[in-house]
A and B are shown apart, each in its own frame.
Chain A
Amino acid sequence: MSFFLELLINGLSVGAVYALIALGFVIIFKATEVINFAHGSLLLLGGYTISELTPETNFYLALLVGLTVTALGALFIERILALRIRTANTNTLAIMTIGFDVVLTADLVRRIGVDPRSLFDPWKNDTVQVIGVTIPLTRLVAIGSAVVLLTAFFLAFKYTSWGVAMRASAEDAEAATLMGIRRGRVAAVAWIIAGVLACIAVVFLVAFPTPGLDGSVIPVALKAFPAAILGGLDSTAGALVGGLIVGVAEQLTLGYSSELSFLGRGFAEVMPYVIMIIVLLIKPSGLFGTREVSRV
């Protein structure tokens, strides 16, 4: 039982981090209808910046710079795409983001070098006892941070002018334009938020008990992609639920891998994608993807 609880808490923690990344995919998609395949490299950019700066200053200052750099990186890509967003097909723009991803990742991986780096976060390898289970402190901080960030995001999405403008623009871009809503600004804010969330996520993805920051963080981060898809690519709530499902499923598969050995070794790696395929077969628009609410 305590083993199961441990896996569950770990799963929720990893899932909460996936949710942060998935939410980035979703808000960029809602604002621009572009799937941002460069998200993994933005995340790596944040991690790299922090790992460079922490030894010089302290972790929190480095985190602040990392957040800024990632946000600016996201804004840079958005501005480039904005040059063509009116005329180009959104699929073409999505492929452009793959281009950014390849270039940025190649450069960052080269800079990071062969050994995984530490971000020197203040939680180190401390552990805590929760209801009889030993959990790394980083896992709990991850859950706490994700809860705070996600709550703040959902409140902003519901109540701020940006949130209303974003939802209006996602539903009917032309009507929103006629109201004087500037879609470019809405999109720019969406990319900045996505960048910030990605940078927070990378801190927890490479913290204890994982080995540290290197290029391999990207495939890990991209598990947020099936999370976003299975939740519904245009649903912010779907990103949250999808992230948690993927995180918990992955940790449970990992924990019970000896019982699940008939599936083959390392099945936890593919579990998110298997779930995504099953969900999409049943609900093609994802769990919370758009279904029109309308009067018949």
Chain B
Amino acid sequence: MLNVADLSVRYGAIQALERVSLEVPDQTVVAVLGSNGAGKSTLLRAVSGTHKLHKGRIEHGTITHDGQRLDKLNPAATVARGVVQVPEGRRIFGRLTVEENLRAGGMGVKNRRQPPARDRVFELFPRLQERRGQLAALLSGGEQQMLAIGRALMAQPTLLLLDEPSLGLAPQVVEQIGEIILEINRQGTSVLLVEQNASMALRVADLAYVLDVGEVSLHGTAEELAATDKVQRLYLGHSADEHGGSGGAPAAKAPRRSVARLSRWAG
């Protein structure tokens, strides 16, 4: 179980997170929704220990995973503890082959665990097995996202942190990514999913949080949140009819779409 308590993170003069508390119970998928600049990526960076690479500083609060403090660990030690992040924008190693990318993903843990981890990744993503010898830069966007997830799974995480996995992908591919998240979760890995695509996120998540300019403004089960006025208006009105999300708003929301989009960007 991941426990974020009263976390404040600052980049120089910019307060990115303000007293954020959040829990990811074992075996669950937890979604964090929020617009650009709400602090979603900062939250994941603080958990994985990479906020320092962006000159971020934890001012206040703690992050614990199964009783162990993560906020004092370096990124490599966090990976070794089974908490692994898939970065926003995929960030696969384009000049390495698919297989080398996976190998790089397994480097945070002991080598002898690699073959079963790779078999599991290939089972989950048969496309990667077909293309194992290819340069990763030549994969399609959806395949690159699968590789980014597969690469993180090579470290056999107990908690997977996903930063905007739907970014820039076609609706069918986003659906597929949603299925994959559910499957990874069924196999016993908890997932902390940061998303702007609320309909996909709420469909796969058990619990959800809404971040608003660095603070948690709403939280509850995914169903509860999907039913709230605010989430419907700000997050689902825009995307529900595009992706047909089951937990989402009715398609009749179409006339309100432009309004919703405006307020979303304005926020």
Chain A residues in the interface with B (C-beta under 8 A) = 86, 161, 164-165, 167-168, 171-182, 292-295
The reply to whether A167 and B107 form a contact with Cβ atoms under 8 Å apart is no
The reply to whether A175 and B137 form a contact with Cβ atoms under 8 Å apart is no
B interface, size bucket: 35 or more
Q: Select which of A164, A168, A173, A295 is within 8 A of B137 by beta carbon.
A: A295
Task: Provide the B79-114 mask, 1 if CB < 8 A to any CB of A, else 0.
Answer: 110001111000111111000110111011101000
The reply to whether B151 and A179 form a contact with Cβ atoms under 8 Å apart is yes
Q: When A168-B104, A174-B87, A179-B105 are in contact, do A294 and B53 touch as well, CB less than 8 Å?
A: no
The reply to whether B53 and A177 form a contact with Cβ atoms under 8 Å apart is yes
- Which residues from chain B contact A182 at a C-beta distance below 8 Å? 76
A165 to B78, CA, bound (A): 18
- Which residues from chain A contact B94 at a C-beta distance below 8 Å? 171, 292-294
Judge if B75 is at the interface, Cβ distance under 8 Å: yes
The reply to whether A171 and B53 form a contact with Cβ atoms under 8 Å apart is no
A181 to B86, CA, bound (A): 14
Interface of B is mostly: helix
Q: Select which of A165, A168, A176, A293 is within 8 A of B138 by beta carbon.
A: A293
A165 to B100, CA, bound (A): 9
A225 to B154, CA, bound (A): 39
The reply to whether A161 and B111 form a contact with Cβ atoms under 8 Å apart is yes
Can you give 6 contacting A-B residue pairs, CB < 8 Å? Answer: A174-B50, A175-B92, A179-B105, A179-B151, A179-B152, A294-B94
Interface residues of B in 49-86 (CB under 8 A from A): 50, 52-53, 75-76, 78-80, 84-86
A256 to B114, CA, bound (A): 58
- Which residues from chain A contact B138 at a C-beta distance below 8 Å? 293-295
Distance in Å: Cβ of A133 to nearest Cβ of chain B = 41
Q: When A161-B111, A168-B96, A293-B138 are in contact, do A176 and B104 touch as well, CB less than 8 Å?
A: yes
The reply to whether B109 and A167 form a contact with Cβ atoms under 8 Å apart is no
- Which residues from chain B contact A165 at a C-beta distance below 8 Å? 104, 107
Distance in Å: Cβ of A174 to nearest Cβ of chain B = 6
Distance in Å: Cβ of A156 to nearest Cβ of chain B = 14
- Which residues from chain A contact B101 at a C-beta distance below 8 Å? 168
A164 to B100, CA, bound (A): 7
- Which residues from chain A contact B86 at a C-beta distance below 8 Å? 178
Q: Select which of B79, B107, B137, B155 is within 8 A of A161 by beta carbon.
A: B107
The reply to whether A180 and B137 form a contact with Cβ atoms under 8 Å apart is no
- Which residues from chain A contact B109 at a C-beta distance below 8 Å? 180
Judge if B48 is at the interface, Cβ distance under 8 Å: yes
- In the complex, the chain A residue whose C-beta lies closest to that of B53 is A174
- Which residues from chain B contact A180 at a C-beta distance below 8 Å? 75-76, 78-80, 84, 107-109, 155
The reply to whether B75 and A177 form a contact with Cβ atoms under 8 Å apart is yes
The reply to whether A175 and B52 form a contact with Cβ atoms under 8 Å apart is no
Distance in Å: Cβ of A266 to nearest Cβ of chain B = 41
- In the complex, the chain B residue whose C-beta lies closest to that of A176 is B104
- Which residues from chain B contact A293 at a C-beta distance below 8 Å? 94-95, 135, 137-138
A174 to B91, CA, bound (A): 9
Distance in Å: Cβ of A251 to nearest Cβ of chain B = 34
Q: Select which of A176, A181, A295 is within 8 A of B140 by beta carbon.
A: A295
Q: Assuming A164-B100, A172-B93, A174-B87, what are 15 further A-B pairs, CB within 8 angstroms?
A: A161-B103, A164-B104, A165-B107, A167-B100, A168-B100, A171-B93, A171-B95, A174-B50, A176-B104, A179-B84, A179-B154, A180-B75, A180-B109, A182-B76, A293-B135
- In the complex, the chain A residue whose C-beta lies closest to that of B111 is A161
Task: Provide the B31-55 mask, 1 if CB < 8 A to any CB of A, else 0.
Answer: 0000000000000000010101100
A166 to B34, CA, bound (A): 36
- In the complex, the chain B residue whose C-beta lies closest to that of A168 is B104
Q: When A176-B104, A295-B140 are in contact, do A164 and B79 touch as well, CB less than 8 Å?
A: no
A121 to B142, CA, bound (A): 59
A182 to B76, CA, bound (A): 6
- Which residues from chain B contact A167 at a C-beta distance below 8 Å? 93, 95-96, 100
A174 to B52, CA, bound (A): 11
- Which residues from chain B contact A294 at a C-beta distance below 8 Å? 94, 137-138
The reply to whether A181 and B107 form a contact with Cβ atoms under 8 Å apart is yes
Distance in Å: Cβ of A97 to nearest Cβ of chain B = 23
A172 to B151, CA, bound (A): 14
- Which residues from chain B contact A179 at a C-beta distance below 8 Å? 79, 84, 104-105, 107-108, 151-152, 154-155
- Which residues from chain A contact B103 at a C-beta distance below 8 Å? 161, 164
The reply to whether A168 and B135 form a contact with Cβ atoms under 8 Å apart is no
Task: Provide the B231-244 mask, 1 if CB < 8 A to any CB of A, else 0.
Answer: 00000000000000
- Which residues from chain A contact B75 at a C-beta distance below 8 Å? 177-178, 180
Interface residues of B in 118-171 (CB under 8 A from A): 135, 137-140, 151-152, 154-155
